[in-house]
Amino acid sequence: MCRLRHAAALLLFLFAVGLGKGFASEEQEGAALTSLRTLLDPQPIARHWNVMVFGGRLSSEPMDQVLLFSGDYEDTGFIGAAAGYEFYRNSLFSFEAEAGAGAMFGDSNGPQVWGALYARWHNFPWNETIRTSVAVSTGLNYTIKRMDYEARSAAPDPNRKLLHYFSPEVTFALPSHPDTELVFRMHHRSSVYGLFDCRRCGSDTPTLGVRHRF
């Protein structure tokens, strides 16, 4: 019921400032703004820290094809671990910082490290049945050695060790064990359309992992 009240308050606010501009009373607009402020008020954070282990297989397709589960895969695996710190939370979303390290193995191999900031939406009406969150990140990923797959994909441009780290993820947890999450993450390195002086640099690795918050 708490989730439904949050959703109703958000809809009321959107109505008041949008379509409701010509219809909603000042009292209704004021109530909507008050409800929104309540949703956005910072909340106490019970579990600041988290750790995660995850792994997957390097895809030879762009990220949109991988997300549709229709891509082909390379003979290269990935395993990694990360530690995160949640530094802001309200009723709707939260922000986290993460540092991690991992390694590719197989046809393309080599260690890598990364750091990123995450924005996470965790307000879903079905959370009393299965706790869900969706997150996106922005950060940097550095490979200790150049990956063979990325070098082939980047040609004729030179490959880059340092690239942007964008890793959208979806998590699920049981309400009885909310601190242990199943994580589906796209481990994505890219040049952001040439921002890192290489238009076709990067790689996509769909992964599955487990995160524990404490």
**Tokens describing residue 32:** 């909507």
Distances (CA, A) of 208 to 10, 145, 211: 33, 24, 10
In order along its 214 residues, the chain shows pLDDT tens digits of: 555 555 555 544 454 445 445 555 666 566 656 666 666 778 888 789 999 999 999 998 877 777 766 678 999 999 999 999 999 999 999 999 999 999 999 999 999 999 999 999 999 999 999 999 999 999 999 999 888 888 787 676 777 899 999 999 999 999 999 999 999 999 999 888 777 777 778 899 999 999 999 9
Neighbours of 194 (CB within 10 A): 11
What is the pTM (predicted TM-score) of this model? 0.80
- In order of their start, the domains of the chain are 2-40 (no CATH), 49-213 (2.40.160.20)
pLDDT of residue 16: 47
Angle at CA of residue 166, ends 194 and 128, nearest 5°:
155
